[in-house]
Amino acid sequence: MDLREDTSGDVTILEIKGRIDSTTAPVLGERLTASLTTPQRRLVLDLRQLEYISSAGFRVLLLAARRAEEAGARFVLCSVTGKVRHLFDLGGFLDLFLISGSREEAITAVH
Amino acid sequence: MKRPLNIVYGVEDVPPLGVTLFSGVQHVVLIAIRLLFPLLVAREAGLAPERILDVLGVSMLIMGLGPVLQAMTRGPVGSGYLCPTSFTSAYIAPSLLAAKTGGMALVVGMTLFGGVLEAALSRALRPLRPFFPPEIAGFVVVVVGVTLGSLGTRYVLGVGTPTGLNRHDLTVTAVSLGTMIILNVWTKGSLRVFCALIGMVVGYVAAALAGILTVADLSPVKAAPLLHFPRLGHGGWSFDLGLAIPFGVAALAACLRAMGDITTCQKINDAEWTRPRIRSISGGVLANGLATATAGICGTIGVNTLTSSVGLAGATGVTSRRIAYVIGGMFVVLAFLPKAAALVAIMPRPVLGATLWFSACFVFVNGLQIVTSRMLDVRRTFVIGLGFTIGLAVDLHPSLYSTLPGAVQPFASSSLVLGTISALVLNALFRLGVRRTQTLLIDPARRDTSAIGDFMELQGAAWGARRDVIDRATFNLSQSIETIVDSCEPEGSIEVEASFDEFNLNLRVSYAGPPLELPDKRPSNEDIMASEAGQRRLAGFMLRRYADRVQSRYRAGRSTILFHFDH
């Protein structure tokens, strides 16, 4: 898994490339925790280049969403397409997260 | 079945009467152009003008019967789709040969043989499915698309005509084709639905203005009687064993083309189309065979599903099977009105070329989509690539094939026949050595996730499996291995066995250790977040949901999970 961070104004964009499984999920979890502890923090998670996400990855996303809510931060996913979208649907996660079609829409939605 | 956005009236819909009638007319015009084929054969057989009128009348009745048989939904006959039929180039070469050697009696006798053979083939499609895979059905559609486009080009450029290429023909083509495209792309409603018919009428007018369609050209229309009752009686049937091969090849080509056309019908009517439905296809091929057998009984040549008409239905977004019954009714009426048939038969070349180009675009792209609906490894790439190259050479270098011995020539009678036979032979050949069951051993200490993905990619392509099924199987394999390694402390290697036939993909994962939990119910979000046990239950739930069937066994310290995926 590769993580790439960009910013757009006050929004942090984290692009994930590759696989989120039980080996890589802890690394992502730490990064998200660090990003979502500050109140008013706005984070977009771009999943356009994500190839695979297992139950370990979904758990990390659920924990991140809870942490964001507790800290008063905003957290939006974007570009959830193809087989990764099927996995979100399969696990019942499509309605649990705020998901935008593109990075631009996500930046608008996170405000 | 989910209706695609571009389909205005789907297969089950009942369009308004006006739409039904005008759509019927569009198809009738496109289908009736092929009346030239029985006309050609009847002349070659040396029939008197009165008898030729009978052949044309009977031919129109058969053109009406075909779509009705195809549209049937009850019983073994019919694909259930608007899939019109007309006379086919596949039967034209052997029919001309039969007309020369044995007259019309031999033509109709051998046509009856071809129809019965195709009807028999339709009953064996399920066991033959590995030898007639979807990518070859798609390949046939692509070749037909290229053939239609190429035929259109001949008409537009005036190849083989005294006038040759001239600006009047090009202008009429541009006006006719331009009208069809503009109405199809930039309009909605009736104008889009009737774009082909409007384009043809505009083409006739443009041809008249350009002097291509003259008063003299209308003489066959004037000469034809107002009313004529076609006689079904003819000079009997005869059979020649030597012609069994060319007619057999024609029946096989007709069968494969019908498979491709019906697959296209399924695809254009269903946004969620994933695989050809064999019952509908075998019913359609049976309808095709019965229509050809009836043609032989009644005194004309063999028919086939009309790819350009299927393309037209997709292009206009009107695919209601009601249209098929209207087409049937219109042809019954037209069979008694020779003037109408004559009007279609004199369609100016550039207008015919424009119509063929218009339909060929949709046929070609639909064929490509069917080919790529399967994963293709190098073997399948050779099957499609070489089949296409060999088949196309018939059109590119016809003189080369005309020097072949007489017994072999029927196999090279058209790019469709030679290309299809080449692809079928290569497919059968390349099946040798492809193992239906493969095993992979995974070392839990190494956690090589890429090996799992590579294994499934390689096998999926070798088997020609559907991409979506392989993606699901790859997920189940990756997720189960991940969970087994993390929570079951397996001793020794984890063994994966993947087996495939055209209908099933089965994965067997076995290891020494306790079994995985595979719950029916999704754990709550709180459960998932609370502990890794909740995460494992989520994994088990997803594994169970993603496969079509799951079995878990635990015996003598060894666990086995069986994942089944319908294909």
Residues B36-52 have a mean pLDDT of 83
Q: Which residues pair with A60 in a beta bridge?
A: none
Residues B544-553 have a mean pLDDT of 94
Q: Do B545 and A21 touch (CB under 8 A)?
A: no
Q: What is the reported pLDDT for B179? A: 97
List CB contacts of B178: < 8 A, sequence separation 6 or more: none
How many domains does one find in chain A?
1
Q: What is the CATH classification number for the domain harbouring A57?
A: 3.30.750.24
Q: Do A55 and B535 touch (CB under 8 A)?
A: yes
Of B475, B522, B529, the CB nearest to A66: B529
pLDDT level of residue B447 (50, 70, 90 thresholds): confident
Which token pair is B135?
């990518």
Q: Do A83 and B478 touch (CB under 8 A)?
A: no
Question: pLDDT tens digits for B316-340?
Answer: 999 999 999 999 999 999 999 888 7
Do the beta carbons of residue B54 and residue B299 sit within 8 Å? Answer: yes
Q: Which residues pair with B427 in a beta bridge?
A: none
Measuring CA to CA, how many Å separate B385 from each of B135, B392, B466, B468? 11, 11, 19, 24
Do the beta carbons of residue B414 and residue B90 sit within 8 Å? Answer: yes
Report d(CA A48, CA A50) in Å as an integer: 6
How big is chain A by its Cα radius of gyration, in Å? 13
Selected residue of B274, B449, B524 to mutate for chain A interface (largest A Cβ count, 10 A):
B449
pLDDT level of residue B176 (50, 70, 90 thresholds): very high
List CB contacts of B290: < 8 A, sequence separation 6 or more: B69, B77, B115, B119
Report d(CA B120, CA B118) in Å as an integer: 5
Instruction: Tell me how close the Cα of A76 comes to any Cα of chain B, in angstroms.
Output: 18
Residues B372-392 have a mean pLDDT of 91
* pLDDT at residue B149 is higher than 90: no
Q: Do A58 and B479 touch (CB under 8 A)?
A: no
Domain residue limits at A96:
2-109
List CB contacts of B398: < 8 A, sequence separation 6 or more: none
Report d(CA A11, CA B7) in Å as an integer: 42
How far does CA B540 lie from the centroid of its chain? 40
CB atoms within 10 A of CB A7: 9
Alpha helices in B72-166 (DSSP H): 89-122, 125-128, 134-157
Q: What is the reported pLDDT for B508? A: 97
For B484, name the nearest residue in chain A, comparing CA atoms only: A22
Of A23, A58, A66, the CB nearest to B447: A23
pTM above 0.95, yes or no: no
Q: Do B538 and A22 touch (CB under 8 A)?
A: no
Q: Do B482 and A54 touch (CB under 8 A)?
A: yes
Q: What is the reported pLDDT for B354? A: 93
For B534, name the nearest residue in chain A, comparing CA atoms only: A59
Report d(CA B244, CA B261) in Å as an integer: 25
Question: pLDDT tens digits for B221-239?
Answer: 888 888 888 887 677 899 9
The backbone torsions φ and ψ at residue B159, rounded to the nearest 5 degrees and listed phi first, read -60, 130
